[in-house]
A = this chain, B = another copy of it.
Amino acid sequence: MRTAFYISDGTAITSEVFGHALLSNFPIQFKHKTIPFVETEEEAYKVLEKISESFQDSGQRPLVFYTIVNVDVRKIISRSVGINYNFLDQFVAPLEKVLGVSSKPEKHRTHSIHETTYDIRIEAVNYALANDDGSNIKEYKQADIILVGVSRSGKTPTSLYLALQYGIKAANYPFTEEDMGDMLKLPPALRQYKEKLFGLTIHPERLHQIRSERRANSKYASLQQCRMELREVENLYRREKIPFLNSTKYSVEEISAKILAETGLQRRKY
Contact = CB atoms under 8 A, between A and B. Distances in A.
A139 to B, nearest CB: 15
Given A157-B125, A161-B164, A103 B25 contact: yes
Q: How many copies does the complex hold?
A: 2
Given A26-B95, A27-B101, A36 B257 contact: yes
Given A101-B27, A103-B25, A118 B251 contact: yes
A87 interface: yes
B25 A105 contact: yes
Contacts of A35: 261
Contact of A18 (B17, B83, B101): B17
Given A21-B14, A95-B22, A164-B157, A36 B261 contact: yes
Q: Which 3 A-B pairs have the closest CB atoms?
A: A11-B257, A25-B103, A14-B21
Given A21-B88, A24-B106, A24-B109, 11 more contacts: A11-B253, A22-B91, A25-B104, A26-B104, A35-B261, A63-B95, A87-B91, A112-B250, A112-B254, A113-B249, A121-B252
22 contacts: A10-B254, A11-B253, A13-B17, A16-B270, A20-B110, A22-B92, A25-B109, A26-B101, A27-B104, A34-B257, A36-B257, A36-B260, A36-B261, A37-B257, A37-B258, A61-B98, A83-B98, A111-B251, A112-B254, A113-B254, A121-B157, A164-B164
